[in-house]
Amino acid sequence: MALKAILGAGFGTALLAILPCAAFADDAPKLSELSPDGKDACFGRVYDAAHLKAHPQQKVARIFFYYGHDPVSRPNEEPAPGSDTSYNAFMTTTVRGASKPDWAGGWCNRQDPNDKSSGIHCGMDCDRTLASLKVDDKGRLVVSDVQPDLYLDAGSEEELGTAEYNKQALGKEDDGFLLDPMPSATCKAEFARIDPIDPALGAPLRERLKPDQAFCYGHDYDDAHMAGHAGQITQSIRVFRGPLELASFAKDGDASNWPDGADIAVSVTTRQKSGKVTQIYSCQGEADQWRCAASAKMSDFSCDVTQKEIFLRRGADGTMMLANPNSGLPVVDLCSKAADGKTKSDDKVYRLQPMPQSACAP
């Protein structure tokens, strides 16, 4: 699932997607209604000016639905070619006036597995609905049950307020789309618009940071900064791979799928505590970022900390950006009520500088 601007200022549209779920097989798609020939299937529509004028409550100007293997990942941070996500359904829409699309991913199944005439439901993480599908007698795809908050967090209306929610949400007529079958290449070209490579940022993290390479990035915030950011808890932060993380990947990792399975350590010192707290995360490449879930390998938690995530992305001039949209950093107890939901402090986005390995020593 891709959630709009979840990483906050400086990260743009975030690409989020893969949580553990029923894996999509490496071979052909399974729903013959969508893919009679067993190959990846593409459906799409670009609305003309006359249609949009006649439907003022429709924000979506372009929509494409792809059933099959991941068309989203590009040569930024994604795993090596041939790797598959657990999703088998991907939808992208571009609203009026937007320069690039938003997208969401999920998985589609028949509502009744034993009845080929039953409808197709496409779900997303967190028990949300991507869409309901059916194919008409002309082979066109009817896409319904598209929710206004498709690209927003649950509870966004309350958090954003009605006016801002209505601005970011899809329109009242953004449902019941009728899409024409198209070549797979057409969908792939459309999804490629989501994450164009920015040459100004240089090589992606997966190329900068090798599987057998230790690294250390961090930032120490001075008194002046902290005085101007009363809501920031983090005094100092380090992100690193050291001997333990390197040994873990050497033992169990697959360098051909780097950075999938890479462990990183994050140490933070906060205003409230004099000592630092270190948490291990397990990462995977996803579009132009690494998605890193907290690991219970070296910790004793009373809750499922794997739902606590952070995101790493290359920054300008050799920096690394870290996003903490949903209280995934150990600036608070990851099992406490304070760690539930979105980060409410200034501890959301960090620009980290490369540092000598000694700066990340235990």
195-242: pLDDT as tens digits: 776 778 888 898 899 999 999 999 999 999 999 999 999 999 999 999
* Residue 5 in this model has a pLDDT that exceeds 50: no
Q: pLDDT: is 312 or 15 the higher one? A: 312
**Which of 91-95, 127-131, 156-160, 319-323 is least confident?**
156-160
State the Cα–Cα distance between residues 103 and 87, nearest whole angstrom: 13
* Residue 115 in this model has a pLDDT that exceeds 90: no
62-107, pLDDT tens digit by residue? 999 999 988 876 545 554 444 445 789 999 999 999 999 999 999 9
State the Cα–Cα distance between residues 338 and 345, nearest whole angstrom: 11
CB atoms within 10 A of CB 187: 24
* Residue 192 in this model has a pLDDT that exceeds 60: yes
Share of the chain above pLDDT 70, in %: 83
pTM over 0.85, yes/no: no
State the Cα–Cα distance between residues 240 and 264, nearest whole angstrom: 6
Q: Name residues whose C-beta falls within 8 Å of residue 1's C-beta, 6 or more positions apart in sequence.
A: 16, 17, 104, 105, 106, 124, 125, 126, 128, 130
Containing 49, the helix (H) or strand (E) segment is: helix 49-54
Containing 90, the helix (H) or strand (E) segment is: strand 89-95
Residue whose structure tokens are 């986005």: 349
Q: What is the pLDDT of residue 299?
A: 58
Q: Name residues whose C-beta falls within 8 Å of residue 336's C-beta, 6 or more positions apart in sequence.
A: none
Q: Do residues 268 and 329 make contact, with C-beta atoms less than 8 angstroms apart?
A: yes
State the Cα–Cα distance between residues 91 and 2, nearest whole angstrom: 10
Question: What's the token pair of residue 214?
Answer: 């230790």
Q: What is the pLDDT of residue 85?
A: 55
Q: pLDDT: is 299 or 59 the higher one? A: 59
State the Cα–Cα distance between residues 233 and 247, nearest whole angstrom: 32
User: Average pLDDT, whole number, for the chain?
Assistant: 83
**Which amino acid, 144?**
S
Q: Do residues 233 and 332 make contact, with C-beta atoms less than 8 angstroms apart?
A: yes
**Cα angle: 6, vertex 192, 82; to 5 degrees:** 95
- What domains, with CATH codes, occur in the chain? 41-197 (no CATH), 205-360 (2.40.160)
CB atoms within 10 A of CB 223: 8
**Which of 142-146, 297-301, 304-308, 310-314 is least confident?**
297-301
The phi, psi pair for 244, rounded to 5°, reads -65, -45
Q: How confident is the model at residue 4 (pLDDT cuts 50, 70, 90)?
A: very low
Q: Name residues whose C-beta falls within 8 Å of residue 273's C-beta, 6 or more positions apart in sequence.
A: none
Q: What is the pLDDT of residue 337?
A: 66
* Residue 335 in this model has a pLDDT that exceeds 90: no
Q: What is the pLDDT of residue 30?
A: 80
Q: Name residues whose C-beta falls within 8 Å of residue 228's C-beta, 6 or more positions apart in sequence.
A: none
| β-pairing verdict for 320-323 and 277-286 | unpaired
